[in-house]
Structure 1
Amino acid sequence: MIRDDVLSLLPARSALPALREALDGPGSAVLCAPPGTGKTTLVPLELAGLVGHGPERRVLVAEPRRIAARAAARRMAWLLGERVGERVGFTVRGERRVGPRTAVEVVTTGVLLQRLQRDPELAGVDVVMLDECHERHLDADTAAAFLLDVRAALRPELRLVAASATTDAAGWAALLGGAEGPAPVVTAEGTSHGVEVVWAPPERPVRPAHGMRVDPALLTHVAGVVRRALRERSGDVLCFLPGAGEIGRVAGLLAGVDAEVLQVHGRAPAEVQDAVLAGGDGVRRVVLATSVAESSLTVPGVRVVVDCGLARVPRTDHARGLGALATVRASRAAARQRAGRAGREAPGAVYRCWSEGEDGRLPRFPDPEIKVAELSAFALQVACWGDPSAAGLALLDAPPAGAMAAAREVLGAVGAVDADGRVTERGRRLARLGVPPRLARALLDGAREVGVRPAAEVVALLSEEPPRSYGDDLAAAWRQARRGGDAYAGRWRQEARRLASAVTGLEPEGAGKAGASGRSGGGGDDDAVAGLVAALAFPERVARARGAGSFLMASGTRAETAEAGSRLREARWLAVAVADRPVAAASARVRLAAVIDEATAVAAAGALSSRGEEVRWADGDVVAREVARLGAIELVARPLKAPDAGAVRAAVAEGLRQEGVGLLRWSAGAVALRQRMAFLHGELGEQWPDVSDAALLERAGEWLGVELGRARRRADLERVDAGAALGRLLPWASGAAVRFDELAPERIEVPSGSRVRVDYSGAQPVLAVKVQEMFGQQESPRVADGRVPVLVHLLSPAGRPAAVTADLASFWRDGYRSVRAELRGRYPKHPWPEDPSAAEATRYTTARLKRERG
């Protein structure tokens, strides 16, 4: 019996006339309807003619998540007074409940993509509704692009609705309308139930989320806000948290509250999800949920939402092929969606765990998944669709070029596309398996090696990562799933059966190996099977030990085991199935891996094998070897007896670049020569050469040509006389080099007749000379064509500093008297005339000076 009393109260009814007009006219529309209006339930039933008086049509509703698809189908069937599978059914991965009378079928967007690839015309379907498109999931964006292609080329009569509560309506309208102009935007008025906003920021600052880390102080605060909401408000409380770990932490902090505490996330058992959606039995409830509860779900009894303000999103390191989850601030669109859960059935309230001032700084919408995700599955989808670059697809956001290039490399490595990016027959077979390309490759090739059923069981483990309680050992996790009675084990068995059936359907001849339908036995067998399948999926992640718990993957990324007591720590080789690289971490973190041997690593990652001669600068010298590698992992190395001379010269040059000109032999004279050249370059400009480290390295071939060409190892470079080679850089061609000693003399003759060395190492040339040897000289010496005065360091007879001056005349007149007074008593045997400017310069004592005269 149709529940007309409920249907008549749904506000989306007001939008139906305009929506029918849009679909009967242009054939596409954007439906904007706030939470609780019946957008997900009433609209499909009306469009299918199951309620109201419209024509009968077959309607396909696409939801982003399995829990939402099942819940929407159950709600619509309840509104019709029927069971799921009659006129309303659903299909999600591994579960299908439809019948011959089914007019409304709810599917996940992933199932819709598979169906479009098999049957682009969607024969028998009249209307497709893409629900919750504001979430910008990659599958939904891709499905929309494919459906627009279908409408343009095959089925212009196919009607298309993009529906959401908080979406970029103008962007979607332009996308759906195409060249004909924007599609109509139909708006349904929201529910009359108001939602009061309560700002509830922490009293003390909390640290921002970083990677997967959320400040425990924030979680303590959230638990406190939940307790406050229970005191201040009636009804059930729905609390949004970023992930299962935070949900568990807050659940622990809520121990003892006068309410039933339930946990809802992607890994929660189906019976728990169903119980939450079915409502309570008079017992007050606190539902702790991730973003799965943002859209398409009405949680009965909820009158209060507590929003922590965080969301967890994927981030991909395309260069290393590693993914990680990052915790970010939720967007304003997500916050509106979350708040709307409180007003679905009656007036409610949302407690936001941030300030009103912070709210305006939140991003408007979440990042589209196409901008941040690993794109190999998307790249295979578009290649199978016939548009490998996705350039011809109607997408709200184009895929990033770097991410697409990385995705095409993956597809090429598994044989899914050819050199031009076009899909191969193998690629089509991989796409039909319903798992990402890497796992599809592991399933297809692994089935031939170890049997269909074992390969399917391991791939099922990899397609939905097992709970942390299963540990990081893939083989041990496999054994626990086989004997386990938990919710994960049930889903795993169902997925393993689906995968085995799928690969058998592709290969009716079977796996071709003994035990194809059996299950491996002992632990050693499990290691071998799990390791091979994981290595086939992720060949660049086979890893060899570098020390206890530390590994080098074939990709070149270092990795460490995350669990201190894991048997993986002592393994020599691993096939790493799941790894992430935390923000700012130098090494990846191994989450799930299997112990393998070198033979398995080489067999699975054979495409990464290489053998060749290697001549390079390493560990401070030229290394010449014949090397066998598996990606970045060095397997075997033998010294080369006669390496290529050109390669050796290149390695020597690289060593010089790495270690600098200090590698050469720099005598005191060579250092002094370089300082004089640097002085002239600084004072007289580019006509004199730049002899800085960078400039010398850049011109190494010019001034070190002969010596560099003869060098074969570090010792040869260390014997090169840098001073002799440096002279080649002087400006001989212009003739200026002949004035080098004049412009920057190595020594200056002083009045005593001594030739004293000039120090050019500082900002100004320095002449260090005894006071008596400068008697009689009126002006300070000058260099660089008289442009630069030499700084004279006047020394005592014992060679100790007595005075510094760049103006001798001024010193003799004003400074000498105090120096004479201080030193004549200490050095009475040396001359200390009253007028040094007129005295005779000498290197000797007074007595010897008299003897020399006499």
Structure 2
Amino acid sequence: MSDPLRRLLAAPPDLPVTAALTELGEALRTHAVAVVHAPPGTGKTTLVPPAVAEAVEGRVVVTQPSRIAARAAARRLAQLLGEPVGETVGYSVRGERRTSRRTRIEVVTTGLLLRRLQQDPELAGVGAVVLDEVHERHLDADLTLALLVDIRTNLRDDLRLVAMSATIEAERTAALLASDGAVPPLASVPVISVPGALHPVETLWCPLPAGQRRTDDRGITPAFHDHVAATVRRALAEHEGDVLVFVPGVAEVEATVRRLAGVEADVHALHGRLPGAEQDRALTEGPRRRVVVSTAVAESSLTVPGVRIVVDAGFSREPRTDHRRGLASLVTVAVSRASAEQRAGRAGRLGPGVVLRCWSEAEHAHLAAHPEPEVATADLTAFALQVACWGSDDVGDLALLDQPPTHALAAAREVLRDLGAIDDDGRVTARGRMIAGVPTDPRLARALIDGAQLVGTRRAAEVVAMLSEDVRAPGGDLVAALRSLRAGHRSGAWRSQVTRLGAVAPQHDARGPLTDDVAVGLVVALAHPDRIARKRPGASSYLMTSGTGAAFDVRDPGPLAGLEWLAVADADRRPGQREARIRGAAPLTEDLALEAAGSQWTEVDEVTWTEGRVRARRRTLLGAIELASVPLSDPPTDAVTGAIREALRREGIGLLSWSEAATTLRVRLDFLHRVLGEPWPDVSDEALTEHLDAWLGPQLARVRSVEHLRRIDVTAALRALLPWPEAGRLDELAPERVEVPSGSSVRIDYTAEQPVLAVRLQEVFGWTAVPALAGGKVPLLLHLLSPARRPAAVTADLDSFWDNGYPGVRADLRGRYPKHAWPDDPRSAQATRRTNAAARPR
């Protein structure tokens, strides 16, 4: 260990974590892995890395979730050592590295370590890795932890690993590390708990006045921005110390800073898109009071010195993905209670502090307990590509704290297949490794690689850098946004990203003279071919190749609204809305759309049943967008049959013309199927629809309209279903009619559960038993009618009825119908259809 580190550990700062350093060293010597559970402000980020360096040989790599945090952590530790950054302590972040051969502790972003692991899984020269802020559950952090467990299991059992958490995720992390395949197996992983060192923090509830809204469908309302700024002014007036303000995103940071013009304090913005010098100024105490307006980057992963007051707007920006529509974006959501506590704790590091929360105590009780891990909500395309590059066949084999949702992972792999990054078996391709080597989202990497050949490397890098930095375009116009970045004085982060991307992209000049409109539109379309959009005829909205509708905000449509073709970079769909809202787009042409999304070009013959007709046409499509359509004069028979089948499924077999004979035959067959079963066919709506070919057969192929459909002889079609040789017994088992003693042939009603014979009582004199159907299995149910054909009695046991029911019916009706026969003994009486004075005995 170097002398500066030895001196620091011999006389460390008075921080709570100091008491746990000896225990940590022992844990690393005996178990090689450990979890440090320490709240913010305990000094874990500052003193744990030197303690780990004392226990191991080689470099100690320390991860931080953001570039700001990595640079700040390295600078803080270097100051304690009395050295410049880059000597004993250095850092590496995207586009910037300050290390030397003497560096023992290197602070890096988690994403950078993830890429380093892919290039050098054995981590040559590294003795230990310290993962900080694992409780934040960023996707890169979860995957990096899983890969490090895999490395310890299969490559480097000597690699020391420390995971640091500010929450109860520490116990879950320890359980995960205990299963890393160590020999001998680890019974448990030490969890080293460090007590918090926060001073009391008073909570003041500062909700928006009644009648005003914090958000609307555009996001944070101007009224709430005003309220946050007013709360900051109140904090400055009523309390001592610097103020740290939490708002959800860059746009909100800038809106709040503008509203604080003129306050008696230095106002600084703090977010990841700022140049390093401006970030450093925000993290450095000055001669005057300061107000630091920050995104969630200051929540737990870095220290803002001098803060005694926190103003919390109560929102955070989290990834959300609509996998069905292929829309991924950052959305503004209410902060969780756990995050609110983390933010409040920033006011209690130096002494008693105060947090002013811009919501009510009642609202606080309804907040989610914890934020969701990114693996459950984020787009998984980059994650899936990293897993494929690692060579893992099954994500379930990786030691992840939470497994990704199956449908989200499947959607991500489908995107990678479309990009040519993985093959049909899920293995990474050479193109996939090239895409993974570009430090940005795989879609943007594809746009950079392919766009460089079309619009030139420099211009492709400019557009991709703009898209990767989540630049908000006024009116959604990305061409205007690009020109603003080129002319702007606050675009240092974008310019640095352009340089980095240009260095890793294929080197090409533009293919002929190109305008910015063409270049931006083409590169955006290459990045998001599923979001190429065409204006719907006669409407202001668009249809994207993915099949999702999209539109500009009607209150501020911007200069692109009304263009025929668009390349959409950013769109989101809010709950309850049918269409996505376009937030960033560029002009496009049909030719450029085909250039960018040629794989989605298809020509299909489509036969449908529309408005009572079979309509056949040949459609040329780009995804879901129709480019052209011409009629088909002779569509394939199977396609016609399929269209009619779908119409019958959708609208029901009532589309056919059901004659009385067809209906009667159907109910008879249904009766036999219910009573006797096979081979008598099922003729329910569902069965007939499912097996159209079996009974309608070739008749469907001649159908072109509803008139043709209704000319089909349904009775003959149903007879095609009759089983052989049982068909010869149909009239015996389920006769259409039955001859009664009067000589009448009476139709049987098969529509009820038990077949019904409705007949006037005088026509069944002489019967002593009811006829049975289906080979004697089911007796007819007699509905015995009065001479006026009104129900007089219902029976399936006629012999019993003559003895018990008939006398009462006779007494009731003979006075009303004296001209009809009402014999004393109906068993022996002559059945009749006529009006007689009396029935003669037979």
Q: TM-score range by the shorter chain?
A: 0.7 to 0.9
- Please list, as runs of the form range in 1=range in 2, the aligned pairs for 1:505-654 lying within 5 A after superposition: 507=506, 510-513=507-510, 525-547=515-537, 548-562=539-553, 565-615=557-607, 617=609, 620-654=612-646
Deviates more, 1:165-174 or 1:533-542: 165-174
Q: Report the counterpart of residue 472 of structure 1 in structure 2.
A: 476
For 1:672 and 1:634, the matched residues in 2 are separated by: 47
Kindly state the Cα deviation for residue 279 of structure 1 after the two structures are TM-superposed. Answer: 4.6
- Please list, as runs of the form range in 1=range in 2, the aligned pairs for 1:606-755 lying within 5 A after superposition: 606-615=598-607, 617=609, 620-675=612-667, 690-708=682-700, 711=703, 715-729=707-721, 733-734=725-726, 737-739=729-731, 745=736
CA contact (8 A) 2:164 2:170 kept: no
In the superposition, relative to structure 1, how do residues 272 and 661 fare at CA in structure 2: closer, same or farther (>3 Å)? same
Q: Report the counterpart of residue 68 of structure 2 in structure 1.
A: 67
Deviates more, 1:1-10 or 1:79-88: 1-10
Structure 2 letter corresponding to 1:500 = G
Kindly state the Cα deviation for residue 63 of structure 1 after the two structures are TM-superposed. Answer: 0.7
CA contact (8 A) 1:568 1:594 kept: yes
CA contact (8 A) 1:323 1:581 kept: no
**Per-residue CA shift, 1:43-83, capped at 9, x if unaligned?**
2345457xxxx899643221111222232233333434455
Kindly state the Cα deviation for residue 278 of structure 1 after the two structures are TM-superposed. Answer: 3.0
Say if 2:502 is the partner of 1:494.
no
CA contact (8 A) 2:337 2:364 kept: no
**Per-residue CA shift, 1:717-744, capped at 9, x if unaligned?**
321122333344467744685446x867
For 1:223 and 1:252, the matched residues in 2 are separated by: 9
In the superposition, relative to structure 1, how do residues 227 and 669 fare at CA in structure 2: closer, same or farther (>3 Å)? farther
In the superposition, relative to structure 1, how do residues 760 and 253 fare at CA in structure 2: closer, same or farther (>3 Å)? farther
Q: Report the counterpart of residue 852 of structure 1 in structure 2.
A: none
Kindly state the Cα deviation for residue 29 of structure 1 after the two structures are TM-superposed. Answer: 1.9
SS at match of 1:41: helix
In the superposition, relative to structure 1, how do residues 186 and 453 fare at CA in structure 2: closer, same or farther (>3 Å)? same
For 1:622 and 1:648, the matched residues in 2 are separated by: 7
Q: Report the counterpart of residue 172 of structure 1 in structure 2.
A: 173
Deviates more, 1:330-339 or 1:781-790: 781-790
Q: Which runs of 5+ in 2 are unaligned?
A: 796-804, 838-842
**Per-residue CA shift, 1:5-59, capped at 9, x if unaligned?**
995211111111122223344333211111111111232345457xxxx899643
Say if 2:485 is the partner of 1:481.
yes
For 1:176 and 1:212, the matched residues in 2 are separated by: 43
Kindly state the Cα deviation for residue 132 of structure 1 after the two structures are TM-superposed. Answer: 0.2
CA contact (8 A) 1:543 1:554 kept: yes
For 1:303 and 1:393, the matched residues in 2 are separated by: 42
Kindly state the Cα deviation for residue 266 of structure 1 after the two structures are TM-superposed. Answer: 5.0
SS at match of 2:283: helix
Structure 2 letter corresponding to 1:28 = V
Say if 2:133 is the partner of 1:141.
no
Kindly state the Cα deviation for residue 611 of structure 1 after the two structures are TM-superposed. Answer: 3.2
Q: Report the counterpart of residue 826 of structure 1 in structure 2.
A: none
CA contact (8 A) 1:812 1:837 kept: no
Q: Which runs of 5+ in 1 are unaligned?
A: 821-830, 850-854
CA contact (8 A) 1:243 1:290 kept: yes
For 2:260 and 2:479, the matched residues in 1 are separated by: 36
**Per-residue CA shift, 1:122-165, capped at 9, x if unaligned?**
44444322110111212122222333444455555443221121
Q: Report the counterpart of residue 183 of structure 1 in structure 2.
A: 189
TM-score by length of 2: 0.80
Q: Report the counterpart of residue 828 of structure 1 in structure 2.
A: none
In the superposition, relative to structure 1, how do residues 698 and 424 fare at CA in structure 2: closer, same or farther (>3 Å)? closer
CA contact (8 A) 1:473 1:592 kept: yes
CA contact (8 A) 2:315 2:333 kept: yes
CA contact (8 A) 2:241 2:289 kept: no
SS at match of 1:466: coil
In the superposition, relative to structure 1, how do residues 772 and 122 fare at CA in structure 2: closer, same or farther (>3 Å)? closer
In the superposition, relative to structure 1, how do residues 834 and 622 fare at CA in structure 2: closer, same or farther (>3 Å)? closer
For 2:383 and 2:808, the matched residues in 1 are separated by: 83
TM-score by length of 1: 0.79
For 1:217 and 1:440, the matched residues in 2 are separated by: 39
In the superposition, relative to structure 1, how do residues 209 and 701 fare at CA in structure 2: closer, same or farther (>3 Å)? farther
In the superposition, relative to structure 1, how do residues 230 and 809 fare at CA in structure 2: closer, same or farther (>3 Å)? farther
In the superposition, relative to structure 1, how do residues 56 and 126 fare at CA in structure 2: closer, same or farther (>3 Å)? closer
For 1:778 and 1:233, the matched residues in 2 are separated by: 106
Q: Report the counterpart of residue 128 of structure 1 in structure 2.
A: 129
In the superposition, relative to structure 1, how do residues 638 and 702 fare at CA in structure 2: closer, same or farther (>3 Å)? same
Deviates more, 1:411-420 or 1:161-170: 411-420
Q: Report the counterpart of residue 823 of structure 1 in structure 2.
A: none
CA contact (8 A) 1:309 1:354 kept: no
Kindly state the Cα deviation for residue 598 of structure 1 after the two structures are TM-superposed. Answer: 1.2
**Per-residue CA shift, 1:405-431, capped at 9, x if unaligned?**
333333333233344433333333322
SS at match of 2:192: strand
In the superposition, relative to structure 1, how do residues 437 and 337 fare at CA in structure 2: closer, same or farther (>3 Å)? same
Report % sequence identity: 49
Report how many aligned residue pairs link the two structures.
809
CA contact (8 A) 2:248 2:332 kept: yes
Kindly state the Cα deviation for residue 566 of structure 1 after the two structures are TM-superposed. Answer: 3.0
SS at match of 1:31: strand
For 1:731 and 1:238, the matched residues in 2 are separated by: 84
**Per-residue CA shift, 1:533-558, capped at 9, x if unaligned?**
11111222222222333222222333
Kindly state the Cα deviation for residue 112 of structure 1 after the two structures are TM-superposed. Answer: 1.7
For 2:102 and 2:259, the matched residues in 1 are separated by: 49
For 1:98 and 1:429, the matched residues in 2 are separated by: 27
Q: Report the counterpart of residue 400 of structure 2 in structure 1.
A: 395
For 1:215 and 1:817, the matched residues in 2 are separated by: 86
Q: Report the counterpart of residue 162 of structure 1 in structure 2.
A: 163
Structure 1 letter corresponding to 2:547 = G
Kindly state the Cα deviation for residue 439 of structure 1 after the two structures are TM-superposed. Answer: 0.9
Structure 1 letter corresponding to 2:477 = D
Kindly state the Cα deviation for residue 101 of structure 1 after the two structures are TM-superposed. Answer: 5.0
In the superposition, relative to structure 1, how do residues 192 and 254 fare at CA in structure 2: closer, same or farther (>3 Å)? closer
- Please list, as runs of the form range in 1=range in 2, the aligned pairs for 1:358-373 lying within 5 A after superposition: 362-363=368-369, 365-373=370-378
In the superposition, relative to structure 1, how do residues 214 and 811 fare at CA in structure 2: closer, same or farther (>3 Å)? farther
Q: RMSD of the TM alignment (CA)? A: 5.0
The match for 2:296 among 291, 297, 306 is: 291
Deviates more, 1:529-538 or 1:181-190: 181-190
For 2:832 and 2:265, the matched residues in 1 are separated by: 104
CA contact (8 A) 1:64 1:132 kept: yes
- Please list, as runs of the form range in 1=range in 2, the aligned pairs for 1:336-347 lying within 5 A after superposition: 336-347=341-352
CA contact (8 A) 2:478 2:586 kept: yes
Say if 2:190 is the partner of 1:193.
no
The match for 1:313 among 299, 311, 318 is: 318
In the superposition, relative to structure 1, how do residues 247 and 809 fare at CA in structure 2: closer, same or farther (>3 Å)? farther
For 2:287 and 2:70, the matched residues in 1 are separated by: 24
Structure 2 letter corresponding to 1:663 = L
In the superposition, relative to structure 1, how do residues 679 and 401 fare at CA in structure 2: closer, same or farther (>3 Å)? closer
Kindly state the Cα deviation for residue 494 of structure 1 after the two structures are TM-superposed. Answer: 2.1
SS at match of 1:316: strand
Structure 2 letter corresponding to 1:30 = V
**Per-residue CA shift, 1:452-482, capped at 9, x if unaligned?**
11111111111122125x3312222222222
SS at match of 2:560: helix
